[in-house]
Structure 1
Amino acid sequence: MGEPTVVGIALSNSALDKQLRASRAALYPKEVVGVIAGLIAAVSLFHVLNLFYIFLTRPAKRGAVSLQRIPLAVADVTRSIGFRWTISFGLSYSLNLVEVALTAAYISLLFVFALVNTTSTTGIKFEPHYFGNRAGDIAASQIPIIVALGTRNNIISWITGISYIKLSYLHRMTARVLCVMVWLHALGKMKTGAPATLPLVRVGLFALSSLALLSIVSIRPVRERAYQFFFVVHCVLVLMFLVATYVHLKDIHMAYYGILPAMILWGLDRFMHFARIIIFNFGYFKPTPSTSEDYDASVDVLSPQFLRITLRRPSHFRWAAGQCSYLSFPGVSSWPFEAHPFTISTTYGPDPSPSGNKLIFYARVHDGFTRKLRDRATEGEKFRVFLDGPYDSPPALVGYSTSILIAGGSGIAFILPLLIDLIGQARRGETTCRRVVFVWSIRESENIHWIKDSLSQCLHGFVPGLSVDVQIYITGKYAEGLFPVDSIAEKIEFSGSYSYGFSVPGVSVGIGRPDLQTLLGEEVQEASGPVSVNVCGGRSLAEAVMKAVRYPRPMDILRGGHTVSLFVDGSF
């Protein structure tokens, strides 16, 4: 008899073919996971070495070329090209070159291992028995990685120092590649004649349909314009996919392979989430709770587009400047477990903040939850709120001689605590930073009052060994009427109380957009050591900053020039 055929394709089912298929299907997924684990380990090692370098390095002066600085020059070139050059897709979507490279490498890794050595002993290339089951095994092995990339309590973020918000791109990318890999698995089974009436096949198709629909509704336009819809649909479809995949793998005794580890990771994340909710909001769970005034949040409407949320800080709540927390407002949200991330705008410890035992959050008003919160806040009521956090991996501003902090609009919520923390460290003698440049671009002059009190408080008094330059730019179309006509073209400096109520030196207010190219170039050239640039405030602002620092400077660094680190907050 000849080889069996399905849809006109000759198939190989010899004992040797079965042995080869089984051994490769067992080995190749493990090798894929091994490659990914090796990459994560390499990034983690680089993160640790970079921290050691930041803490131990000493400023150098420019001079002759030094070969000992080659590693620094290589690192600077890699950062400049990999993270600061982007490729645009459409009008509002862009990826840096590292993200493009990781995407291409991940796709290649999975499909090479799925399709390599799929020629049967009889010479049939891409024989469906070979790649069908193997693609399914590789897909199953990726589920725990995808879950790990998508959780708030993110083990990959902990060991690599990469913010879980920034890892969300990898979470979405790997999930979409997983969807294609599952389709390849389904194609292989169809080619081998697997009957669609089998319960195993039906539940597999149900899992595939859930994943495919999830990939469609998770595109950026849906997330940005209807986030609450996306969030609810995401939760439902993920649950459907995981349950269906568990049943599918359980029938072939492979539930342990991918789905159970993923469920364990998800369960640990949920356990830590609810543990934080109970620990940090214990007053609400006491048998005899205290009065609501002790725990409820107050919401101040600073402008129709901006809110300030204030609540009491739990005594055991610790955080780093720039971290965020999730807040749940059961009386405002559409459903009880709805939570939203907000950056903590106060700093922990002995700092110049006027609110040592309070947590303050600034929120920009969008459609949906924040709009409902603003409408309710105008009535002057307080709100029951559940605090969960802190999360995120903000930049460690240690070991730098110059720190440049750039905010646009509501991005001040992330940048302001970095400034307060740096000044607090300088007053305590805990920092090597000698200069801080703070740039805030806003549309209307009234926005200055959002942070005037906090900024004046932290700038008040002498800060030993630290030069602080605060530059505020008003970009709105009505800004010109605020100043003399002959002063509009240049940055205008004020002093004393006339400078929008600032009674401290070092604050300047100007009209127009800041010249970031010139500002950053001058600060890097004049710096006495490594430079840290941090930005938050929208894609256009981030792209302008990246453009200003994207060009490599290998020869300058070899001669003693200083490296430039860039941190772009991923919440915009």
Structure 2
Amino acid sequence: MSSSSATLSSPSASPSASPSAAAKTTRFDHGNLVFNVDIFILSVVAVLILLSLPRAAIRFIHISEWTTGHLLRSVTIHVPHGVRRQSVALTPISPAHVSRNGHNPRTPLDDARSEKSVGATTDEDHNIPTTSRSNLIRSRSQSSAHANLLRNTSTSSGRIRRPYHNAPAHMPGWSSMFPRIAALIRYPIQPELTVGKAFVLIAYSAVVLYAGLYNSNPLTQPLRAGFVAISQIPVVMILGTKNNLLGMMLGVGYERLNYLHRYAGVLLVLATNVHAIGYFYSWSLAGTFAARAKTPKMQAGMVALVASDIFVIFSTSFWRKRFYNCFIALHVVAIVIFLVGTRLHSVQSTPYILVAVAAYGLDRVLRVIKTRWTKARLSIVSEMGMTRIEVAGLNAGWRAGQHVRIRVLSRAMGWLGWTESHPFSIVSVSKGFSEEGLVLMCKKTGTWTTKLYELARRAEYGEAGGYAQDVRVLIEGPYGGPGHMMLASFAGALIVAGGSGITFGLGAFQELVQKDLEGESRLKAIELVWSVPDPAAVIPFLPVFCDLLSLRTFANLRIHVHYTRAPTTSSALKTISQLQLPRGFSFAPGRPG
């Protein structure tokens, strides 16, 4: 009994030893739990990468894909046999170019009309009827490299079959294998949010909440929220860079991952505040708040807390859209302060911060490598309210649908205008047979684009011949695009564009036509549908449309233009009706049906 009593009383004899030992044996490893959750997220990403591998493998089987879509450059272009080489720019055509007797003087359309043209008139609804089929034959009087293509109305088909030298194999996407699921995923809930994106955000929230709440009370155990916050640092940084390994392996541009970057940033700041509030609460109850706040470790944590709140507040759409320069400056400064403060506050955050810094450093190095300092020529397309930027020194290195970021180094853009970098889709085709190089179309919508338009307009009035002023620019890219999907591997292509969206549509159309001419396409039909408010908008693009439709391709080419508003003047319709438009071009009022 005595021994038994002694054994039972021994815990009370040393009350401080037993609870300490029990605490050590039952202590929960918060860092290990959060690390395991990160491993789970990486496993999901690895599965997504494996699902994208078939298309990536088919794409990179072609040697040209290793050098296309990554770096802008200038190369010597070899024109295929039988394809003429000329530069057809977007040139405004006013009614003054049309003579009173209905016969036009020489315009940029003459070359295209001499090869593939038919008469066109409009009916009461201003519809231009489709003409009968005719054929293209090569003029024997011209050299093979610069042969003119003539329309021969005595035959029924102008299509010629070229051998598939390097035509890409078609690898269907997962969306085409499960079309109903794909349609549901793409169903829009609100602007910039689809069902698929909402599902991803909900699933990601569930994973983060599990990491933060499993066997934990945020008020009594705020340490867990701190681990969750530091685990999000590399996620936010990787998704926020222009050149990230995740996007490269998935074949997805940074702009399509940006919504995840913003959401992960919100979760990071939320976890940071929960972590801080939990400790503030416990310190206030214990009456030690003032003493704790004076320690250097806690002061560094408070600085990181304030910095995180600053960059999330100034990252809202209000600041991004109205005060972009302020948003960028505060974003960068606040993130740097946050990383430094977090490292001084917690040594355990070191590996996460190092991963984030490495991702950011890789992005900056690649952005420098992708940047070109060159000369550009500006001109205006007044019918569209757009500025045309032509960079003749860069003619290769991009794919259809990609965009670049441009800085205009001119005092006319303002004192800080040269610091602004703006994205624009590439209109021209890489290694195009014309000599125009890289072409951008910038719509006048904001302060910067308005200054650019005015600069080009003043230059046109100030120089003879209507040519624009040459300016120095910094061009960074290319970015975005179709990823691992190869447009030329499909049987047909339908490209639909609205308004200024023609910058994407025209670039894709030109690339597909060029692939056809080079025998690297399986397309049998290529159609471009463009809807514009004003019929006058089509006039500057007619030289390009006519040049494309005059080419001798195997695929059937069609361009349909629809205008949705009543014309303010009849000059545009009169000009178009007096021009000889090529077969395959239609111009009609109303929305595309």
TM-score (norm 2): 0.69
Change (3 A) 1:481 1:361: same
Query: Structure 1 residues 160 and 306 mapped into 2: Cα distance closer, same or farther (>3 Å)?
Result: same
Tell me whether 1:323 sits opposite 2:417 in the alignment.
Answer: no
**Is 2:565 aligned against 1:473?**
no
Distance 1:206 1:139 in 2: 15
Instruction: Look up the match of 2:53.
Output: 48
Look up the match of 1:167: 257
In 2, Cα distance between equivalents of 1:366 and 1:514: 25
Task: Return the offset for 1:457.
Answer: 1.9
Q: Deviations over 1:427-455 (max 9, x none)?
A: 22211111122111111122113432222
- Give the partner amino acid of 1:311: V
Residue 184 (structure 2) pairs with residue 86 (structure 1): no
SS of equivalent to 1:180:
helix
Which of 426, 446, 449 is 1:344 aligned to? Answer: 426
Long gaps (5+) in structure 2: 1-17, 60-167, 284-288, 460-468
Compared CA separation, residues 433 and 127, structure 1 to 2 (3 A): closer
- What code does the residue aligned with 1:117 have? N
CA drift of 1:192 comes to 3.5
Opposite residue 514 of structure 1, the aligned amino acid is: P
Could you report, residue by residue, the CA deviation over 1:289-318 in whole angstroms, capped at 9, with x for unpaired residues? xxxxxx421111112721100113347x51
Q: 1:409 to 1:18 in 2, by over 3 A?
A: farther
Q: Deviations over 1:228-261 (max 9, x none)?
A: 3323332332233233223323xxx224222121
| 2:258 is aligned with 1:180 | no
| Residue among 581, 587, 590 paired with 1:503 | 581
The offset of 1:152, in angstroms, is: 0.9
Deviates more, 1:414-423 or 1:450-459: 450-459
Q: Aligned to 2:379, what secondary structure does the other structure show?
A: strand
CA shift, 1:150, in A, is 0.9
Alignment of 1:86-485 (within 5 A): 86-88=188-190, 93-118=191-216, 126=217, 128=219, 130=221, 132-193=222-283, 195-249=292-346, 253-277=347-371, 280-281=372-373, 295-303=374-382, 305-314=385-394, 317-331=396-410, 332=413, 334=416, 336-349=418-431, 351-352=432-433, 354-355=434-435, 358-380=437-459, 381-394=469-482, 396-464=486-554, 466-478=555-567
How far did residue 117 of structure 1 move?
1.6
| AA matched with 1:305 | G
- CA apart distance, 1:262: 0.8
Identity, % of aligned positions: 25
SS at match of 1:307: strand
CA 1:73–1:156 in 2, change beyond 3 Å: closer, same or farther? closer
- 1:470-498 superposed Cα distances (whole Å, 9 cap, x missing partner): 111112343695799xxxxxxxxx9xx94
Q: How far 1:329 moved relative to its partner? A: 1.4
Deviations 1:538-570 (A, max 9, x none): xxxxxxxxxxxxxxxxxxxxxxxxxxxxxxxxx
C-alpha deviation, 1:48, in angstroms: 2.0
1:49 to 1:309, Cα distance in 2 relative to 1, 3 A: same
Q: Partner of 1:31 in structure 2?
A: 36
Are residues 499 and 211 of structure 1, via their aligned partners in 2, closer, same or farther at CA, if it must alter by over 3 Å? farther
Please give the residue correspondences for 1:473-552 in structure 2 after superposition, counting only pairs within 5 Å.
473-478=562-567, 498=576, 501=579, 503-515=581-593
Note if contact 2:402-2:425 (Cα within 8 Å) is conserved in structure 1: yes
Cα distance change, pair 434–205 in 1 and its aligned pair in 2 (3 A) = same
Amino acid at match of 2:456: A
Question: 8 Å contact 2:562–2:590 — kept in the other structure?
Answer: yes
Secondary structure of the equivalent of 2:495?
Answer: strand
Distance 1:398 1:48, change over 3 A: farther
Question: Partners in 1 of 2:37 and 2:577 — Cα distance?
Answer: 60
What stretches of structure 1 of length at least 5 have no aligned partner?
1-11, 60-68, 119-125, 282-294, 485-493, 516-572
The two structures, once aligned, show a CA RMSD in angstroms of 2.9
Residue-pair matches, total? 446
Deviation at 1:212, TM superposition (A): 2.0
Instruction: Output the CA distance in 1 between the equivalents of 2:175 and 2:192.
Output: 28
- Give 1:335 shift: 5.2
